[in-house]
Amino acid sequence: MRLLSWISSFLLTAAFAAACSSPAPAPQAQATPPASTVSVDRGKYIVSTAGCHDCHTPMKMGPNGPEPDMTRALSGHPAEEKVEKGPALSGPWIAAVNSTGTAWSGPWGITYTANLTPDRNNGLGIWTEDMFMRAIREGKHMGTSRPILPPMPWQVYRNLTDDDLKSVFAYLKTLTPVANRVPDAIINEPKK
Ligand code: HEC
């Protein structure tokens, strides 16, 4: 205990002394924060760490359980997987997801994860960067219309910087287009 408190008071004193002494010129690498730029690599990094594949890449059964089917990377809910009615849930359960991890049923209705590949008819092919930014920032379908429903976590991704979001869009535009037609969401009327 005595040793610990000695160490912490020593550290505090040292930190205080360092703060008061005239600043030594900091090495260049620390002085300037890394420049934030728009890049495909950065977009790829964000997509692969922010969980986009978890929902937008269909799952298939692998040796260790469900795994993302990267041959269909980010192509959204597969059109041939017909999931038009959610299961009846009871007790504490509030939502359900199908075996590909791309159709979600909950109080809002049924949502199908979007095709994020640049296919012109089924994906982001005709989207502009501005539409993408508004979709994520304002939670509006195609950047303008109905609210984007759960479980798409746009409320989290809206906190990414402009450069981050532009990088994500730039990366998505480099994907191989997949002609997968995702069904429209089935939206429940809000309870009065
Ligand atoms: C927890 C699951 C989940 C995660 C994680 C997720 N999404 Fe989604 N996303 C969805 C669902 C479900 C929809 C469809 C929602 C709807 O129809 O309202 C969707 C829709 C979208 C749309 C279309 C919005 C529109 O106009 O209708 C875009 C763009 C999108 N997601 C991008 C991303 C990106 C980029 C990431 C990663 C940074 C991501 N999503 C991560 C579930 C998810």
Residues 57 and 48 sit within 8 Å (Cβ to Cβ): no
* Nearest partner of 134 among 124, 145, 125, judged by Cα: 145
Residues 177 and 125 sit within 8 Å (Cβ to Cβ): yes
Q: How far apart are CA 16 and CA 58, in angstroms?
A: 54
Specify the pLDDT at position 25.
53
Write the pLDDT tens digit of every residue in 106-153.
999 999 999 999 999 999 999 999 999 999 999 999 999 999 999 999
Specify the pLDDT at position 190.
76
Nearest ligand 1 atom to the CA of 131 is 26
pTM score of the predicted model: 0.84
Cα of 177 to ligand 1 centre, how many Å?
Answer: 17
Domain ranges in the chain are: 38-77+94-187
Write the pLDDT tens digit of every residue in 143-159.
999 999 999 999 999 99
Nearest ligand 1 atom to the CA of 143 is 26
Residues near ligand 1 with C-beta < 6 Å? 47, 50-52, 54-56, 104, 111, 113-114, 116, 135, 141-142, 148-149, 151-153, 157, 168, 185
Which burial class, exposed, middle or buried, applies to 83 when counting CB atoms under 10 A from its CB (0-12, 13-18, 19+)?
buried
Specify the pLDDT at position 80.
97
Write the pLDDT tens digit of every residue in 13-43.
444 333 444 455 555 555 555 567 999 999 9
